[in-house]
Structure 1
Amino acid sequence: MAQSVLAASRWGAQAIKQAGQASVRLVDHFPRELVDDIFAFALKKQTGVSLKYMLDFGSKPIERQLILSAQFLHNELPVRLSHRVAELENLPYGLSAKPHVLKVRDWYVESFRELRGFPKVKDASDELQFTRLLQHIYRRHANVVPVMAMGVAELKRELAQTIGIDDLPDIHQFLDNFYLSRIGIRMLIGQHIALHEPPRENHIGLIDTKCSPAGVCQDAIDDARSICMREKGSAPDVTVYGDPSFTFPYVPSHLHHMVFELVKNSLRAEHDRFEDSDHEAPPIRIVVAEGEEDITIKVSDEGGGIPRSGLPKMWTYLYTTAKSPLDEMDRSGAQEGSDGPSVLAGYGYGLPISRLYARYFGGDLSIISMEGYGTDAYLHLNRLGNVQEPLP
């Protein structure tokens, strides 16, 4: 591994030298004052919040609370954005010079500049204007995940002849931190925006105070099976075991994202294994268990499992056994207002990002596989809501 990393370092130095000729550094594209401001903010400490704090704070979204929320975001978001810009500016192996990575960096710079240029929020009128700015920023960053994935895919192709991207732990650590930070930024912005929307029963912003894990699982199953039917022509059955009346406070969109990813993978594995078999694919089983500290959701399939040597690769970005749609997205452009089109498989970042969603509120995601039989995925969700964001 040491030799491969050394080779990549040499290759990266050459890429950076070539990139320098194309003037990709921040200071070559933005005013010096703005660049200095970004790096000054990047030295500041980020302030994490918990699910319980968001619940308590948003329980009565009166004018004063909304102003306080806007003031917090006005101070906090530039700090978080600047941390990411500083990282994007200094990535190894020439990744910072990739056009897609530069596009993402410039989105972050532009959002930082707009937030810094917005005057202090003092009253309800200021808060409304600030919320409109947040909506604009939220839309701007909608496609960060697939666009960043395209940049990493380009690096992977270029390094394919020398080393594998699995041998670049610093790239994987950066992507973990970057995507985890993105989840936090979108949660904070989305929560503030949602507090302005018409009240929904049992909802405080994006948080459902009576989120039914079994109900969300069923919605995710329906969506995943629909895609499997469209892509493969058929889909194995999925059975949910758990009390449908059990609820706890959580963000349904996060839970849907994680369960959808797990079910999607299980559907594909079972379909592929039993496609040419005389036996019908057995039902995928989902068990929802209630603990005092955690809610655990287990997704079990009989899709043949994964070799032990392949398990670590599941948590690396852009590792996939399916044909990747990223090249097609690169030609056609990412869809506006989405995190990428919903296809059955191929992106290679579904599992690692699902684990980040779980960890964001103090949970986790683990995979146990029996090669030749099937796979069990364990999704742990923190029930207490008292864990602060794991800020990178």
Structure 2
Amino acid sequence: MAAKKAIETFSKSLIEDVHKWGCFKQTGVSLRYMMEFGSKPSDKNLLISAQFLHKELAIRIARRAIELENLPCGLSHKPAILKVRDWYWDSFRDIRSFSEIKNMNDEKEFTEVIKAIKVRHNNVVPTMALGVQQLKKDLNPKIYKEDIVEIHQFLDRFYMSRIGIRMLIGQHVELHYPNPRPHVVGYIDTRMSPVEVARNASDDARAICCRQYGSAPDVHIYGDPDFTFPYVPAHLHLMVFELVKNSLRAVEERYMNSDKVSPPIRIIVADGLEDVTIKISDEGGGIPRSGLRKIFTYLYSTARNPLDEHTDLGVGDNVTMAGYGFGLPISRLYARYFGGDLQIISMEGYGTDAYLHLSRLGDSQEPLP
């Protein structure tokens, strides 16, 4: 049925092309390689980068397009998932209809094509979340556990791949603009201060908390503000923002009707030889052990869901205090993308500690799903 749907929408030759490219091997890139390659964005390097992306993006997008056709429990047929599927097929067609990249004119045109693809995919996360929600509504309690596990594994692969695709496109596009700060290479800041990024992310999370609840607990940050290491500030901002937002909500809701002053959230930045670790601690009451197993699944959220069938996903990234249950699993994927990890340890009745491990060596390859 799913394959029939695709045949009705797309030409036979495109479908054959997607399946052919979906069989090719992906090529992972390390943070260090991106940094060294991008430090001298000459015409020759931009041309090599565009030629690499012309092939690599077609392979990665084809693999996801095929997977979107064959999901368990009828997830492939949900309206929101069909919309995402169409974005992937259209993007594959755009890349494949671009002939070889031989000179800088071709490179410029191709860069415009992939820029448009990145914009087209801006709302993939909330749209996929809406599809999962559409599935949850119809979910038969008899649905097998294996199907739930399969959906979860698919979403992990899908989002990890999306992080990689957006990183590769964004990095290539950014190299076209001269950066006033010589230590910034595309998306990568070779001298990123984790304390500074944590402060900005906490300020953003507190602003949203104030908007929703009228107040927000304090955030105290401990660590050397002068310590820097190479990383992608946008990725770290997203992860810290998500974790602090969760902590603020837990503390705010626990102390809402109390005379006590709500305790601050503490962020500790530790600089190790292999890892930079950021610990985010709150006294928001913690998570029961039975709930800890679920916090990294996509079919679970403790918050009321802000998405519904009529959610307007046309406006950038609508940030609410409590998301659609995808914040933690996606933050963990961002951490793992460059060889790090995210762990949550909780004491029910007291609070939660989140440990964000970031590899400071920068030489682990992208994990390619």
TM-score normalised by L of structure 2: 0.97
Q: Does 1:258 align with 2:239?
A: yes
8 A contact 1:237–1:284 mirrored in 2: yes
Match of 1:63 in 2: 43
Match of 1:292 in 2: 273
For residues 125-140 of structure 1, what are the structure 2 equivalents within 5 Å? 125-140=105-120
Match of 2:128 in 1: 148
Cα displacement (A) at 1:134? 1.0
For residues 129-208 of structure 1, what are the structure 2 equivalents within 5 Å? 129-159=109-139, 161-163=141-143, 168-201=148-181, 202-208=183-189
Could you tell me which amino acid in structure 2 is paired with residue 142 of structure 1?
A: N
8 A contact 1:159–1:165 mirrored in 2: no
Q: Does 1:85 align with 2:65?
A: yes
8 A contact 1:237–1:282 mirrored in 2: yes
Q: 1: CA distance between counterparts of 2:137 and 2:250?
A: 26
Q: 2: CA distance between counterparts of 1:168 and 1:53?
A: 37
Structure 1 stretches of 5 or more lacking a match? 1-15
Match of 2:102 in 1: 122
Q: 1: CA distance between counterparts of 2:143 and 2:218?
A: 40
Percent identity of equivalent pairs: 61
SS at match of 2:125: helix
Cα displacement (A) at 1:382? 0.5
Q: 2: CA distance between counterparts of 1:164 and 1:347?
A: 23
8 A contact 1:261–1:351 mirrored in 2: yes
SS at match of 2:345: strand
**1:333-390, CA deviations, whole angstroms, 9 ceiling, x for partnerless residues?**
2034x3x311100310000000000000000000000000000000000000000000
2:300 to 319, 331, 355: 319
Could you tell me which amino acid in structure 1 is paired with residue 238 of structure 2?
A: H
Q: 1: CA distance between counterparts of 2:109 and 2:73?
A: 41
**1:248-299, CA deviations, whole angstroms, 9 ceiling, x for partnerless residues?**
1100000000000000000000001111112111111000000000000000
Q: 2: CA distance between counterparts of 1:32 and 1:212?
A: 51
8 A contact 1:321–1:346 mirrored in 2: no
For residues 176-255 of structure 1, what are the structure 2 equivalents within 5 Å? 176-201=156-181, 202-255=183-236
Structure 1 range deviating more: 195-204 or 93-102:
195-204
SS at match of 2:346: strand
SS at match of 1:44: coil
Q: 1:365 to 1:135 in 2, by over 3 A?
A: same
**1:145-176, CA deviations, whole angstroms, 9 ceiling, x for partnerless residues?**
10011111110110055459897100000000
2:313 to 322, 325, 334: 334
Q: 1: CA distance between counterparts of 2:145 and 2:138?
A: 10
1:76 to 37, 52, 56: 56
Q: 2: CA distance between counterparts of 1:354 and 1:334?
A: 21
Cα displacement (A) at 1:99? 1.0
SS at match of 1:255: helix
SS at match of 1:347: coil
Q: 1:167 to 1:282 in 2, by over 3 A?
A: farther
Q: 1:168 to 1:30 in 2, by over 3 A?
A: same
Q: 2: CA distance between counterparts of 1:227 and 1:335?
A: 20
Q: 1: CA distance between counterparts of 2:141 and 2:217?
A: 39
Cα displacement (A) at 1:318? 3.7
8 A contact 1:52–1:386 mirrored in 2: yes
Q: 2: CA distance between counterparts of 1:160 and 1:305?
A: 31
SS at match of 1:157: helix
SS at match of 2:247: helix
Q: 1: CA distance between counterparts of 2:323 and 2:35?
A: 36
Q: Does 1:307 align with 2:284?
A: no
Structure 2 stretches of 5 or more lacking a match? none
Q: 1:95 to 1:226 in 2, by over 3 A?
A: same
SS at match of 1:297: strand
Match of 1:358 in 2: 335
Match of 2:81 in 1: 101
TM-score normalised by L of structure 1: 0.92
Cα displacement (A) at 1:81? 0.3
Could you tell me which amino acid in structure 2 is paired with residue 75 of structure 1?
A: K
RMSD: 1.4
**1:306-327, CA deviations, whole angstroms, 9 ceiling, x for partnerless residues?**
0000001100114111111111
8 A contact 2:202–2:241 mirrored in 1: yes
SS at match of 1:246: coil
Q: 1:47 to 1:259 in 2, by over 3 A?
A: same
8 A contact 1:306–1:375 mirrored in 2: yes
Q: 1:317 to 1:164 in 2, by over 3 A?
A: farther
8 A contact 1:99–1:151 mirrored in 2: yes
Structure 1 range deviating more: 86-95 or 164-173:
164-173
